[in-house]
């Protein structure tokens, strides 16, 4: 049951705005539906409901507070408090695609490789310089990773030496590579390269 109050408009007026207002017992407006329509026109909504005619009355409805209404509000409150997502505990492990493991294969391979290579120890400075000069005689540009592989020296130690004898290219065609400073450059001539190829 609902308690309603109506205000009848004057007979000679033609209003084009209808207001339906649902109010709770506390007088707080909860819903408002407005529909603009021309006289004797058809207004279709998304849900397929159509109204035709002139609006001459306005009604304000308030629900009757009883046990049924309070039960409905309680049910709505419970539904709104339910979590949207629930975590479920699996009875057995999923073995279709991904099987949980303590450690992945690539991690084990990486650890095994590090153990086999051992920790890099700094060699004598002159020995490292000889290896670097020998490498730069073959190629003009190297990135730091290649130099580490050639010399087997720690990156920080290698960069410290390269800052003294080389320059770092931060842009251009040879970006992120090192090359020797002009005073340290000594490249093989074409004839020397041919001789090395023949002897090899």
Domain membership of residue 41 (yes or no) is yes
Q: Dihedral, CA atoms, 47, 27, 19, 11, nearest 10 degrees?
A: 140
Reported as a pLDDT band with limits 50, 70 and 90, residue 46 is low
Q: What CATH number does residue 185 fall under?
A: 1.10.10.10
Q: What is the DSSP letter of 74?
A: H
Question: Final residue of a domain: which of 30, 51, 66?
Answer: 66
Tens of pLDDT, residues 59-108 = 888 888 999 999 999 999 999 998 888 888 888 877 666 666 777 788 88
* Domain presence at residue 197: no
Inside any domain, residue 120: no
Average pLDDT over residues 144-153: 88
In a domain, residue 90? The reply is no
Residues of the domain holding 41: 2-66
Residue 73 lies in a domain: no
Residue 47's pLDDT band (boundaries 50, 70, 90)? low
As a whole number of angstroms, the distance between CA 39 and CA 56 comes to 11
Q: Is residue 22 part of a domain?
A: yes
Q: Is the pTM of this model over 0.75?
A: no
In a domain, 109, yes or no: no
**Dihedral angle, C-alpha 46, 52, 57, 62, nearest 10 °:** -30
Residue 129's contacts (CB-CB under 8 Å, 6 or more residues apart) are 161, 165
- Percent of the residues in the chain that have a pLDDT greater than 70, as a whole number: 63
Structural domain includes residue 77: no
What are the DSSP calls for 95-158, one per residue?
-SS----SS-HHHHHHHHHHHHH-------HHHHHHHHHHHHHH-S-B-HHHHHHHH---HHHH
pLDDT at 115: 73
Q: Between 109 and 50, name the one with better pLDDT.
A: 109
| Domains of the chain: total | 2
- Report percent pLDDT > 90 for the chain: 10
Please identify, among 66, 92, 114, the residue that sits at the C-terminal boundary of a domain.
66
Which residues are within 8 A (CB) of 188 and not within 5 positions of it... i.e. 6 or more apart?
Answer: 137, 138, 196
Query: In this predicted model, which residue has the larger pLDDT, 117 or 34?
Result: 117
Q: Is the pLDDT of residue 119 over 80?
A: no
The rounded mean pLDDT for the chain is 73
């Amino acid at each position: 049951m609902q308690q309603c109050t109506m205000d009848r408009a004057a007979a000679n007026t033609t209003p084009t705005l209808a207001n339906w207002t649902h109010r709770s017992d506390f007088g707080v407006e909860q819903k408002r539906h407005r529909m603009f329509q021309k006289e004797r026109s058809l207004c279709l909504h998304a849900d397929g409901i159509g109204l035709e005619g002139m609006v001459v009355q306005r009604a304000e409805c308030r629900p009757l507070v009883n046990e049924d209404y309070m039960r409905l509000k309680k049910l709505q409150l419970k539904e709104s408090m339910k979590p949207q997502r629930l975590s479920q505990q699996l009875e057995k492990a999923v073995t279709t695609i991904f099987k949980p493991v303590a450690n992945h294969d690539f991690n084990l391979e990486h650890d095994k490789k590090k153990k086999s290579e051992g920790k890099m120890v700094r060699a004598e400075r002159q020995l490292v310089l000889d290896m670097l000069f020998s490498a730069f005689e073959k190629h003009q540009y190297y990135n730091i990773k290649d130099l580490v592989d050639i010399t087997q020296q720690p990156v920080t130690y290698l960069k410290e030496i390269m800052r003294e004898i080389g320059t770092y290219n931060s842009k251009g065609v040879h970006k992120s590579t090192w090359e020797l400073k002009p005073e340290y450059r000594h490249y093989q001539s074409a004839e020397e390269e041919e001789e090395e190829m023949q002897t090899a």
